[in-house]
Chains A and B, each alone.
Chain A
Amino acid sequence: MNLLISLTALGVVAMFGGILKFRSMVMPLSVLGLIGASLLGVYAWNTNQSFLNDMMRMDNYAIAFSIVCMAGTLLTILFFHFFHSENEIHYAEAVALMLFAVAGCAVMVSFTNLLMLFLGIEILSLSLYVLAGLRKKDLLSNESSLKYFLMGAFSTGFLLFGIALLYGATGSFATTQIAYQLGIAGMNGMAAMGLLLLMIGLLFKVAAVPFQFWTPDVYQGAPTIVTAFMATVGKVAAFAAFLRLFQLCFAPSKEGYQLVIGTVAAITMLAGNIMAIYQSSTKRMLAYSSIAHAGYMLIAVMTLNASSNGSILFYSVAYTLASISSFLIVMVVQQNRNNDTADDFNGLGKTNPWIAFALAVSMLSLSGIPATAGFFGKFYVFSSAVSDGFIWVVAVAVISSFISIYYYFRPVIAAYSKQTHDPVMTMPAGTQALLILLSLLTILLGILPGFIAGII
């Protein structure tokens, strides 16, 4: 709770950075504040306290995911600072919106009442709608913002209708009450309908096929840094909330809907990976890749056993590290070569060896090659699905992972085996150091995965 309050206060302070003329303080303040809030989270570890009439509970699950989201936000704010001058018109507001979004994430991952789930999702989404349209004069950015807003509002409708039906069936918004009533009466028609609509709303938010159609346009049109934020922090929080909801409310009746989620996961993985192959823009390719990763993470939501929490957490960390670093590299390439097709990565291994190294590590991690964090992320998710007997889903997942290697390796091959006459890429100071740090973390987690996996 202290974590949430401090995040919100931080957002309010950052918001005034622009108009009260302390812009240069915004970045250091936010970074320190996020670190401080994470420490508050660590301090509350194992306390398992409930707040606001049992509407939210800061258990270890909530704290762990809040910290992952805050770490993602911290990295995004740093990147934002590298690429955007402090004197830009909405610099402080953008940082503030990211902080508000992460406050929404903290609500989403700690709810024990469906109202808080809804509130958290809205706080996150509203911030993201505005962030997507950050470049006011850019048509694509505007399109992205409007599309995201309309689709998001639509999916929120599904979510609310689902919550209303569940309330009708069980007489409560509290997850404990819902689980209790469903335990007594079983899944009646109204509750099943509510569950289905809730599922549709959440699948919209995590961009799973067949509710993925907004993702490519939104991700491509938004400023690259905002895309990185949406694809990592937004997705991680949505999955954490998804899993938490199902663990708290619907775990006993999981046989009834596992097939549905399994099918959605299989289609998402296949469709995301196959469509990603046809993209020439690397940023758009990463958008489709984020759809595919939603499919992998859905497997953990489907299995819904004791190891699901840990495997989603590990997957989130691995995915966040690799995604942020690959979006950052795309940003660097876009700025230097004005485009981001695979050909624009030509000769990167010669001109900027460290950037090429970071690119290789993040792509290896995203495709799930051993010795990177991505491998263990997939390993944990797949192995718990296999132990529950979902061989067919895992088979589809492995096949689609092989497909994904093709397009993940395209920029890497271009970087190392093709020549270029373009000059060495320039980038803001500190970018390279952070990219190397992210790569090293990815490799470290690929070698010592137990560090995070067993924590919740």
Chain B
Amino acid sequence: MLLEIKTSATSTAVDYFPIVIQFVFAAGFVATTMFVTHILGPHLKTKKKLKAFESGIKSVGNARQPFAIKYFLTAILFVLFDVEVIFLYPWAVNFLDLGMGGIITMGLFMVLLLIGFFYIIKSGALDWE
């Protein structure tokens, strides 16, 4: 069955020990890097260095101000397609095993995606002006 691992209902707390280790590692990594950079790094605090980095352009004003909804729309649409492309990777890896059925399924998926894209373009969501 899809997405099923073999565990029994009698799993104990010990079975979750790897998760604890992972958690310790994650927290430890953050703590260590923060600590080490603060200790080892040179302390040169100039005005320019403390400024927000805006891709090399001179920074203007406060970062927390209302911005045009167009940016938000573009960002959201990007995320949408970005996430959907993720589905292509597992398919590409298993391309030969999935065979013709895989191609048809993926084709259907891409067509549905394109329908959405077509709708976005037609409804003018990507018109900048």
Contact = CB atoms under 8 A, between A and B. Distances in A.
Contacts of B122: 16, 19-20
Given A20-B122, A171-B11, 6 more contacts: A18-B123, A54-B1, A171-B7, A171-B8, A171-B9, A173-B4
Contacts of B115: 12
Given A12-B115, A19-B122, A115 B3 contact: yes
B123 A19 contact: yes
Given A171-B8, A185-B9, A188-B9, A15 B119 contact: yes
Nearest to A169: B9
A55 B1 CA distance: 9
A184 to B, nearest CB: 6
Interface in B97-129: 112, 115, 119, 122-123
Interface of B: 1-11, 112, 115, 119, 122-123
Interface residues of A, number: 23
A225 interface: no
Contact of A19 (B3, B8, B11, B119): B119
Q: Which of B2, B9, B11, B122 gathers most chain A CB within 10 Å?
A: B9
Looking at chain B's contact residues, the main secondary structure is loop
A12 B114 CA distance: 12
A53 interface: yes
A226 B119 CA distance: 23
A219 to B, nearest CB: 27
Contacts of A54: 1
B124 to A, nearest CB: 8
A181 B1 contact: no
Contacts of B10: 185
Interface in A158-193: 168-174, 177, 181-182, 184-185, 188
Contacts of A115: 3
A276 to B, nearest CB: 38
Contacts of B5: 171
A408 B3 CA distance: 50
A171 B1 contact: no
B123 A55 contact: no
A171 B123 contact: no
A16 B120 CA distance: 10
A54 B119 CA distance: 33
A12 B115 CA distance: 8
A181 B3 CA distance: 17
A181 B11 CA distance: 12
A201 B48 CA distance: 49
A125 to B, nearest CB: 18
Contacts of B6: 171
Given A12-B115, A15-B119, A16-B119, A181 B2 contact: no
A115 B123 CA distance: 32
Nearest to B9: A185
Nearest to A20: B122
Contacts of B2: 53, 55
A177 B1 CA distance: 11
Contacts of A173: 3-4
Contacts of B1: 53-54, 172, 174, 177
Name which of A115, A172, A181 has the most chain B CB atoms within 10 A of its CB.
A172
26 contacts: A15-B119, A16-B119, A16-B122, A19-B122, A19-B123, A20-B122, A53-B1, A53-B2, A54-B1, A55-B2, A115-B3, A171-B4, A171-B5, A171-B6, A171-B7, A171-B9, A172-B1, A172-B4, A174-B4, A177-B1, A181-B8, A181-B9, A182-B9, A184-B9, A185-B9, A188-B9
